[in-house]
Amino acid sequence: MSLQELWLLLPVLIISAGILLVMLQASWKRHSVIAQGLTVLTLVLALAALIWQYPNDIKTITLLFEYEPIGGFFSLLILMACISVALLQGPYMGSSYQGNSSKEVAEEFYILLLLSCLGGMLLVMSRHVGSVILSIELMSLAMLAMLAYNRERKVALEGAMKYLLLSGAATSVLLMGFALLYATSGQLLLVDMLQSPMGLLAKSGFVLLLAGLAFKLSLVPLHFWTPDVYQGAPVNSTLLLTTLSKAAVFALFIKLILLVPEDFEADMVRMLSWMAIASMLLGNWLALQQQSLKRLMAYSAIAHMGYVLVAGIIAMGIDHSLVLEGVSYYLLAYLVASILIFAVLSLLSKLDDQQDLDQLPQLQGLFWQHPWLASIMTLGFLSLAGMPITIGFIGKFYLLTLAVKLSAWWLVAAMLVGSAVGLYYYLRVIFTLFAPSKNEIHQASGAYFTKIWIGIIAAGLLLLGILPGLLGDQLRSILVVG
């Protein structure tokens, strides 16, 4: 490994160093604020390093990793999600300044967060089976511990157990897929593996591989774990699950899709189209009557992954540049909206409570008590619903443009029906926020940095919705080599 390659790994190295640092700090003197500060600092430094040497062409780093624009952009998304979680965790656990710090230890959460972030960033850089497996497991295992972080909540433990078992099963499916592909091609590099001629065995291997990833993306019919895990986990862990792991896995997913050999495309399009349509319809349909916001967000995640999958399907057809732009914009929009919604829930909840604030009636009248929080949540839901002047609309516009361009009318129809159904439950939440208030809702006091950060993200949601050109005009040069 040359010095230059090390240099390219700088963001990842910074995070690794941060992990060691927080570990040392925890063993030397436990202090949640210092741990949080170190974590945020690490993540911001990694973000700065990434932006500073943003990749504009493909460079391989050893056999395992490559440094290229798509991975770079998804790393940005991952870091944005991780910074949000790191900032939200402080008020959620109760700041130690106020003397009411949590019963759970604080530092380990930050270590796990950084580990998970590391896994995600390595995953989007992977070009080799070994690195894919390692980084996906690093991400998932760290996530697992975070899902069960409050050991006194039974639902959290139940959710984590479900995630452990099912995620383990999915990983073995993934491994099986890789094994079959390796058996037929004899290659371990993703590119070589998929470009060698595919027999039936290799094809089934590829399908298994995609199934493993579809589990992580909670696409129908591999979505069953999602609502329980989302509802059980502490809200910040749910946020991480819905942002980091979705973004990272989708980056890998789209890379694999772009490598599908031509003679296999028609079958893949058919299979993935069904998955996308089923996810969009079922996700939105099941979300309709949810009273729990986390469950609602789980089903909404299923639906939104269905929408992005549409772009993935189209990627096999045409114009790679526009597809990549569409996927990136849509995922960015989805992440931003999810971060805002979960951030508000997180600011209204406490880790030590048996339950997070999660039931819809508990939120009634939030706007009249905490207008800013409610406005931010409203913006988040409007964006998920794809209303104009939010970033979600632009994302939807990209995807619809792609689908119409390819004349994929079935997909368009499913998207339209899904969005129309989706409107109802997003609107239901928004209406609850604006209903006359019933009971007093307490929000985390202080936490100004967190609130400023959330404010910045909310402003970004509006800005990129009102002036989509700011990012949209640049995306092609950000994502596509040459």
Partner 1 sequence: MVVVNMELLSLLIFLPLLCGAVAWFAEKKLRGSGNWITLFSLTGLLLLSFYLGSLGDSSLSWSWFARFNIHFALLFDGLALLMVVLTLALAILAVAVSWREIEQHRGFFHFNLLFSVAGIIGVFLAADLFLFFVFWEVMLIPMTALILIWGHEKRRYAAIKFFIFTQASSLLMLVAIIALALEHQTQTGFLSFSLAELQILGFAPKTEYWLMLGFFIAFAVKLPMVPLHSWLPDAHTQAPTAGSVLLAGILLKTGAYGLIRIVLPLFPNATMEFAPIAVTLGVLSIIYGALMAYSQTDFKRLVAYSSISHMGFVLLALFSWQEVALQGAILTIVAHGISSAALFSMAGMIQHRIHSREIGSMGGMWASAPKMATITLIFVMAGIGMPGMANFNGELFTLLGSYQVFPTHTIIAALGIIGSAVYGLHLFQRAFQGPTNIDISDLRMRELVYTSLLVVALFYFGLQPHIILDLSADTLSSLLSIAKEAKP
Query: Which residues are near partner 1 by CB under 8 A?
Result: 325, 368, 382, 387-389, 393, 397, 400-401, 404-405, 412, 416, 419-420, 423-424, 427-428, 431, 434-435, 467-469, 472-473, 475-476
Please identify, using beta-carbon distances, which residue of 169 and 480 lies nearer to partner 1.
Answer: 480
Cα separation, 106 vs 36, whole angstroms: 9
Please identify, using beta-carbon distances, which residue of 24 and 459 lies nearer to partner 1.
Answer: 459
Q: Closest separation between CB of residue 55 and partner 1, Å?
A: 21
Please identify, using beta-carbon distances, which residue of 188 and 296 lies nearer to partner 1.
Answer: 296
Please identify, using beta-carbon distances, which residue of 455 and 469 lies nearer to partner 1.
Answer: 469
CA distances from 13 to 16, 41, 46, 74, 344 (A): 5, 14, 8, 17, 32
Report residue 409 as tokens.
Answer: 């009318």
Q: Closest separation between CB of residue 245 and partner 1, Å?
A: 29
Residue position matching structure tokens 């959620």 = 92
Q: Closest separation between CB of residue 435 and partner 1, Å?
A: 8
Q: Closest separation between CB of residue 288 and partner 1, Å?
A: 12
b/e burial code for range 447-476 (CB count within 10 A of at least 16 → b): beebbebbeebbebbeebbeebeebbeebe
Q: Closest separation between CB of residue 382 and partner 1, Å?
A: 7
Q: Is 444:88 a contact under the CB 8 Å cutoff? A: no
Interhelix angle 69-93/107-125, nearest 10 degrees: 170
Please identify, using beta-carbon distances, which residue of 253 and 426 lies nearer to partner 1.
Answer: 426
How far separated are the first and last CA of the chain, in Å rounded? 26
Q: Is 258:194 a contact under the CB 8 Å cutoff? A: no
Cα separation, 119 vs 134, whole angstroms: 8
Please identify, using beta-carbon distances, which residue of 99 and 482 lies nearer to partner 1.
Answer: 482
CA distances from 3 to 71, 399, 480 (A): 21, 41, 26
Q: Closest separation between CB of residue 400 and partner 1, Å?
A: 6
Q: Closest separation between CB of residue 322 and partner 1, Å?
A: 9
Please identify, using beta-carbon distances, which residue of 97 and 368 lies nearer to partner 1.
Answer: 368
Please identify, using beta-carbon distances, which residue of 361 and 469 lies nearer to partner 1.
Answer: 469
Please identify, using beta-carbon distances, which residue of 140 and 419 lies nearer to partner 1.
Answer: 419
Cα separation, 334 vs 236, whole angstroms: 16
Please identify, using beta-carbon distances, which residue of 237 and 390 lies nearer to partner 1.
Answer: 390
Cα separation, 193 vs 129, whole angstroms: 9
Residue type, 97: Y
Angle at 28 between CA 26 and CA 34, to 5 degrees: 50
Please identify, using beta-carbon distances, which residue of 456 and 467 lies nearer to partner 1.
Answer: 467
Cβ neighbour number for residue 13 with a 10 Å cutoff? 15
Q: Closest separation between CB of residue 420 and partner 1, Å?
A: 4
Q: Closest separation between CB of residue 204 and partner 1, Å?
A: 36
Which residues touch 98 (CB under 8 Å, ≥6 apart)? Answer: 445, 446
Q: Closest separation between CB of residue 345 and partner 1, Å?
A: 22
CA distances from 339 to 81, 160, 199, 278, 473 (A): 7, 21, 43, 25, 24
Q: Closest separation between CB of residue 413 and partner 1, Å?
A: 9
Q: Which run of H or E residues covers position 61?
A: strand 59-61
User: Any bridge partners for residue 128, and if so which?
Assistant: 189
Collapsing DSSP states into helix, strand and coil, what is residue 359?
strand
